[in-house]
Amino acid sequence: MRRIDTACVIDDDPIFVYGIKKVMKVTNFCDRILVFNDGQEALDNLKEIILINGQLPDVILLDLNMPILDGWQFLEEFIKIPCAKKIIIYIVSSSVDPEDVLRAKSYERVSDYIVKPISVKKMKEILQDFENTFKE
């Protein structure tokens, strides 16, 4: 299975971040992990990476409920940034509100809505989706 070069986790919950890093390690998910604690920090850093033509993430795991700039606000701003690379975005939230799921599906750049916690099985499915998306 193809491994992801860089994954990005945007989440303010240190316990979730710790757990997702462990799951990523167990599943051999990626070579590098970028972690941001809120949408604004992520937006600023990703804009900078784009500006210097650096290595952008292949996959973003985005929480919805965060301080400063929440997941929805991040998404609205991020999709406005011109970017040649296709980045797969997964909403990862503890919210089971059907309206959140529907709203997430309204974004073309959002691949799926995942309810926390993320299992090893789900991480393997994300890897499989990634591999299928970029098959030549």
Q: What is the pLDDT of residue 136?
A: 47
| 121 falls within a domain | yes
| 136 falls within a domain | no
Cβ burial, residue 65 (10 Å; 0-12/13-18/19+): middle
Q: Write out the two tokens for 51.
A: 């500006």
For 54-109, where are the E strands, in sequence order?
Answer: 59-62, 88-93
How many structural domains does the chain have? Answer: 1
Amino acid, res. 112: D
| 58 falls within a domain | yes
What CATH number should be reported for the domain holding residue 77?
3.40.50.2300
Cα distance between residue 29 and residue 9, in whole Å: 13
pLDDT digits (tens, 9 = 90+) for 87-121: 999 999 998 999 999 999 999 999 999 999 999 99
Q: Name the residue range of residue 86's domain.
A: 4-131
Q: What is the pTM of this model?
A: 0.93
